[in-house]
Chain A
Amino acid sequence: MQDRRELSPTKINADLLNFTLKTPLWFWIVAFVLSSILGVAAITYIFILYYGLELLGYQNTIVWGFLITNFVFWVGISHAGVMISAILRLSQAEWRRPVTRAAEVMTVFALATAAMFPVLHTGRPWRTLYWAFPYDYARGIFPDVRSALIWDPSAIFTYLSSSAMFVYVALIPDLAVARDMTTGWKHSMYTVLAMGFHGTGRQWKLQTIAGILLSALILPVFVSVHSIVSWDFAMAILPGYHATVFPPYFVIGAVHSGVSAVATLMAILRKIFHLEDYITADHFDALGRLLIVVATGWLYFFLLDVFFGPVGEGATELAVWNLRFFTFPYSILIPIMIITGYLIPVPTWLFRKMRRNVTVMFWTSLCVNVGMWIERYYIIVPPQSFKEPFTFEWVNAYLPRFADWILVIASFALVSFGVLIFAKLFPIIPLFDIKEGQVLKQEIRIGRVRVPAVIRE
C-alpha cells in the first residue's frame, strides 16, 4: 500500500471505537427509517400468510419469482466475506486489513436474510421443518435426500455458522480492547464475549492459528454453497436451467456482486465514520483491480451459458433463449444487466484515477449489484414459462406486485439494519489487524526514492 499513514495504537483505539462507545443522533434516525421499512414488510407478510401467496405475482407455471431471486442474490452477496477475508488472508494481501470485518459481517447478515426467503416462499413456513428434517421414522418416510432442495439448508447453515465463527474469532482481541475501555453493562458484555483474552503470547498464537484454519476450512464451504444453490435450478431438466456451467457461473457471479457490495459498503463506512485514515484510495484501487478480474471471469461464464445453452438443444431450449433475449419485458433486462454489470464498471475501473475516486467506486459498485440482481431474475424466471410439456400450454408473464417489491426493499433494509447494529456494538474495522499492519510496515530505499515495503509474514 502506498498511501499508508502513521497511526498510533491509541489513535486507532479512539478512532475505531468511537461509534461503538458514543451514539450520534443520525444513528437513531437511520435505525428508525430502517425499522419502519421492516415494520411495513412484516405487516405485508402477515397479509401474505392470511390471504396466501396470491398476493405475489405468481402465474400458473411461474412460482419462483422475486422471493427466490432475492434468495439467490443475497447468498451471492454473502460470498464477499470469505472472498475478501479468507482468500486475501491466505494470500497475505496487505490491503485486506480494514476491509475484512465489514465484509464478514455483511456475509452473516446477507446469509441470514437469504435463508429467510425460501421459508417465506413456502407460504406455510411452519411446514418447512417437515421438508428439511426426517420425520415419521416408524413408517420409514424421509424427505428425499437426493433433492437439491434438501442440500440447500445444510449448505447454508454450515456456511452461516462457520461465517459467524469466523467473525467472532477475529473479533476477540478487539472485544478485549473494548472491555478495557468501557464500564457498566457494556463492560460486562465485552468481558463475557472476550473470553478472558489478555493478549498473552499463547492467546495470540491460538487466535492466529484459528483464523488461518478457519480461512482454509471455510473456502470449500464458500464454493459449495452457491454451487448447491445453482443446482437447485440445474438439477431440474427444465430447459434454460439444465446447464453444467451453473455452479462456477453462480459462484463467480456471487463473488462479483459480493466484492462490489464490499466496495459500496466501504465507501459508506468511510463517509459516515470519517475513516479516511483507514480506508484509503489504495483500498479502492485494489478492490477495483480485483473486480476487473472477477467481472471478466463472470462475463466469460455468462458467455459460456449463452453459447452452449442453445447449441444442439431442443426447440424448447431455443424458445427459452428467445424469450430471454427477444421478448418483452425480459428483452430489456439483458442489455441493462450487461451494461450495469460489466460495460459501465469495468471500463471505468481500467483507469487508475477512477479506481482511486471513492465516489466513482461507490456508484460503479452499486451499478454492478443492480446488474447482478437482474441477472438472478433473468436466470430464474423466464425458463419457468416453458413447463408446458409437463403442465400447461399457456402462461402469462410474471408481473411482480406490491408485496414482491416491499419484500425486496425490506431485504436491503434488513441487511443494512444488521450491519448498523453490529457496527454500534462492535468495531466494524478490526483494530488488531490495523495495528499489525502498522507494525509490519517498512520502507526500502531505491536510489533516491523511498518505496513502501512490508515484512513478509
Chain B
Amino acid sequence: MFSEQIELRGHIIDSLILPKVLDEILTNGGSFSIREINIGKQRHDASYACIDVFGPSPEIVDALVRRLRQHGAEVVEQKDVTLVPAPADGVFPTDFYVTTNQQTFVHLRGKWIEALPATMDCAIAVDVEKQTAWTVKFSQVRTGTLMAVGHHGIRVVPVQRSTDRKSVFEFMASNVSSEKPKSAVIREIAEEMRMARKKGGKILVVAGPAVVHTGAGEHFEKMIEWGYVNLLFAGNALAAHDIEQALYGTSLGVYLEKGALADEGHENHMRAINAIRAAGGIAQAVAKGVLRHGIMHCCVQHKIEFVLAGSIRDDGPLPEVIIDTLAAQRAMRTKIEGVTIALMMGTMLHSIAVGNLLPAHVKTICVDINPSVVTKLTDRGTFQAIGLVTDIEPFLRELTEFLAKKEAGSVAVSA
C-alpha cells in the first residue's frame, strides 16, 4: 500500500468538491483516510480537508493525485519521520511511536516505507541506509537502534471494508451471544475458510484444552485432514490432554466416550506427558508408534506447524513447549506471515497473545463459552473480528458439517 497526503481548500462542501474527490479516489482503485477537516463557519468562509490517499502501487497513487490536482488538491510536502537512537538494550527512546495492528508507514528521504510486520504495541526501528523499517518489541531493541518518535512522518492505513463479497465479518454488528442462533454465522465462517484455502491464505487455529475436554478433538482432526488448518498455536494443556485422550481415552481423567471419571484418572495426563518426554517429543512419539491418535498426532502426520507456548501452571511440560515467553512470542511472530484467518477457541491467554501479534486485516473468529472472553478478544478496534459465545464441541461439529458439505461438493465437481 502506497500513499500521498493531499489538502483541499475552498468552498469544497458547497461545490461538492470534497465528495467528488473522495468518490474519485475510490472509483480509481484507491482508498482514503480523512486526517483533518475544518468546515467554514460563515457562508463565505473556506473549508479545509487534509486527506491521506492510498493505492496498491506508486503509479496508481501518482495517477490518482494527478487527477485530484485538477480538482484543486495540493500535495502536502511530507517531513521525514523523527529518529532517535535507543538509549539502552531493551529500552525505547522517550516519546517512541507505539504501533497499532494496522499497516503503518514511515516517511524516510522522501519515500514512504512500510514498517513490517503490522503488529500492535511495538515500536518502529528504522535502517536509514537500507530504507527499511520494522516493528520491534522491547526485547529486540539494542542500544543505538534508530527508532521512530513522535507522530510526524508516520502514517497508518486503516483496513478498508471490501467492496466485493459481503462477508460475515462485515454484516455482523455484534457478537453472537448464547441466546442467538449461530448456524448462519458458522456457515459463513465455513465459506470464509474455504475461500481462504482456495486463495492460498493460511488458517491459524489457536486452541485451548476445552477443545479436547468438550470432545471436539475429532472435529478438529477432520479440519486438519481436509487442509483447513495450516498453523496451530496452543499451550501445554491442549497437547497434554489431547495426548492423554489418545493414550488413555480420558481428558482430565474423564472418559470422553462415557463422561465418567476414570479410576486414578487424574494421573493420566501426567503419565501421558511422561510418555512423550520419554519418547523425546511429540514427533518422535508419533514416529515410534507411541502416539497413534489425536490432534497432535494429526498435526505431525499432516506436517502442520505448531507452536506450544508455556505458562507458569504447566505440568511437564511437553518437550516441544517453549518455556521462554519471549522466545515463544518470537516463534509465533515468525510463523504468522500469510495468515488470513485466525480461529481462536477456548483460550483467553493464548488468544490475547496471538491477537496482539496479528495485523488488523486478519479475519479473527473467537469462540468461547465465557461471554466476557469473547468480548475481550473481539473488541480490538477492528471490524474484522467476530465472536461466538458457545461451547466448542457444538461449534466445531457444525463447522465441520458445513466444511464436509463443501468437501463433498468439491469431490463431486472433481469427479
Partners in one complex: no
